[in-house]
Amino acid sequence: MKSREPKIALSPGRIAAIYVAVGILWILVTSFLVSGYSDATEDLLLYEIGKDLFFVLASGFLLWFLCHNWEKQVVQAALEGSRAMKELDEARREAESANRVKSDFLAVMSHELRTPLNPIMGYTSLLLEEVEDPSLQDPLRDIMNSSRRMLHLIDDLLFFSYFNEHQRVEGVEVFELLPLVEKSVSETRRTFPNGVVVVENGFGDFAKVGAEDVFEDHPELLERVLHELLSNGVKFGEGKPVYLRLGAKEKEGSCPLIRFEVEDSGIGMPQEFIDKIYDPFSQADTSQTRRYQGVGLGLSICRKIADFLEAELEGRSFPGEGAKFSFQFLLPRVEIQEKRKSVKQRVEESSFTDSEKDRLNRVEGEAIDSRSPCALVVEDDPLNARLARKELELFGFEVEVASDGEEAVEKCELRVFDLILMDICLPRMNGFEASEAILGKDGKNAGTPIFALTALVEEEARLRCKEIGMQGFVSKPVRMEDLRSVLAIAGFRELAKE
């Protein structure tokens, strides 16, 4: 389509013509009036008229010339502005398209990198429990530790890319702080088996965090900050103890000031390097002979999370004296008005049928009967399906496998399952759709707990699982302790015991 130039209401020619016409009219009127009341000769009058007419025509031409140039400049500026707006719009569309491609790429990479790690770590974990030969135990532990380091690297890269793009995490959750700290410490010890972490609850002006204190915020972000700081401390602490101190200071309202401090006695670094290492992919030592591995994302992730949570992240370090990082923020406390009733009490007071009460009472450790519980594993990857079957059979489950969502829905129409483990990326019908179909119908498995076991790690996937009514979300690779937690939540606490 041919582009149309912007139009101006009055062109330079029209403006000059109007000016000249008004000027001539004014000359004629004034000449007529002067000729009636003046004794001037006709020659003098004509001379004055000619002079005025020349002035009007000359100034009219000058006005036309100036207006013409002004019009050209206005039109040129308008055209350039239009082109600039068009280029900006195209750049915006290209950026949005690039972001979509990037998000899709990260989702695919997350799935494709985690999927093969799941059987590697899963079978290694099984072998570590079954093999008693010490000569084989060490290589198996090396495989597991290397896999955990690779998983930690993948998590850092994917989380940094996701958080850098979205700059947000949807939704807040109610949680207890001390179990979160214990989980972060345990994860660090698993990733770095030789590391020593000492936890101190309460220090200086900060009181102890209560065992029953309940808060509301983004626990997964706090857990990641703790894990990153602890991992750095253990990695650079050179085998010396790393101290994690936590405490709370009461403020006005229901938001106490929470402070974490992670201190090591390792190599340390010059203070001027502290600000530099918050930059992504930056390290204090980038030489080919550097002693410590990593891509330099841990503290950059902590900085981004601190900005998001409006927290203070500070670091102090000196060469040969170790480093200390502190993370301080206001954390909304949730007041518990009354002690919650046990699941069994709530079930007995409810209007559930006897069979439904039997199913729910398993949460209190009461079995339905003496039969083996039955689980449905929905997984399209044969290696992961076999691993999940073997792991569940070790816990005493009878296991059926479906390779896609449609097959899972069909199986759920034929029999009752006690537990469903659902992958999300499935052929024909994905895990979200299959779970909605199973839970949405008034069918045999409308009350069966469904857990997502998936290589997806995006926050949107977690929120979708919660909206559908799934009981939990576990990221691959799935560890035995993750599976035990799933079984405990589903009501199989006795089976989940080690």
pLDDT per residue as tens digits for the range 363-384: 444 444 556 899 999 999 898 8
Mark whether 16 and 58 lie in a shared domain. Answer: yes
Give residue 342's pLDDT band: very low, low, confident or very high (50, 70, 90). Answer: very low
Establish if 224 belongs to a structural domain.
yes
Establish if 431 belongs to a structural domain.
yes
Q: Which of 355-369, 427-441, 469-483 has the lowest mean pLDDT?
A: 355-369
Mark whether 139 and 180 lie in a shared domain. Answer: no
Mark whether 159 and 177 lie in a shared domain. Answer: no
* pLDDT of 286 higher than 90: no
Mark whether 202 and 306 lie in a shared domain. Answer: yes
The last residue of one of the domains, among 147, 166, 185, is 166
Specify whether the CB–CB gap between 216 and 172 falls below 8 A. yes
Top-confidence residue, 25 or 240: 240
Q: How much of the chain, in percent, has pLDDT values that exceed 90? A: 18
Mark whether 19 and 156 lie in a shared domain. Answer: yes
Mark whether 120 and 216 lie in a shared domain. Answer: no
Establish if 363 belongs to a structural domain.
no
Q: Which of 125-134, 357-366, 395-404, 489-498 has the lowest mean pLDDT?
A: 357-366
Mark whether 82 and 225 lie in a shared domain. Answer: no
**pLDDT at residue 404, rounded to an integer:** 92
Mark whether 154 and 190 lie in a shared domain. Answer: no
Give residue 53's domain range: 8-32+41-166
**pLDDT at residue 492, rounded to an integer:** 85
> CATH no. for residue 207?
3.30.565.10
Count of C-beta atoms within a 10 Å radius of residue 458: 15
Establish if 460 belongs to a structural domain.
yes
Q: Which of 362-376, 396-410, 435-449, 460-474 has the lowest mean pLDDT?
A: 362-376
Establish if 319 belongs to a structural domain.
yes
Mark whether 202 and 323 lie in a shared domain. Answer: yes
The encoded tokens of residue 318 equal 């000196």
Mark whether 195 and 149 lie in a shared domain. Answer: no
Beta strands in 18-143 (DSSP E): none
Calculated CA dihedral for residues 366, 372, 373, 377, nearest 10 degrees = 160
Domain count along the chain: 3
Rounded to whole angstroms, the Cα distance separating 484 from 498 reads 9
The pTM (predicted TM-score) of the whole model is 0.62
Establish if 415 belongs to a structural domain.
yes
Mark whether 178 and 325 lie in a shared domain. Answer: yes
Establish if 15 belongs to a structural domain.
yes
The last residue of one of the domains, among 166, 196, 218, is 166
**pLDDT at residue 261, rounded to an integer:** 93
Residue 319 CA neighbour count, 13 Å, CB half: 5
The encoded tokens of residue 304 equal 């981004």
Establish if 60 belongs to a structural domain.
yes
Mark whether 98 and 206 lie in a shared domain. Answer: no
For 381-428, write each residue's pLDDT tens digit. Answer: 898 899 999 989 988 999 999 999 999 999 999 999 999 999 988 888
Rounded to whole angstroms, the Cα distance separating 329 from 231 reads 21
The last residue of one of the domains, among 141, 166, 191, is 166
> CATH no. for residue 133?
1.10.287.130
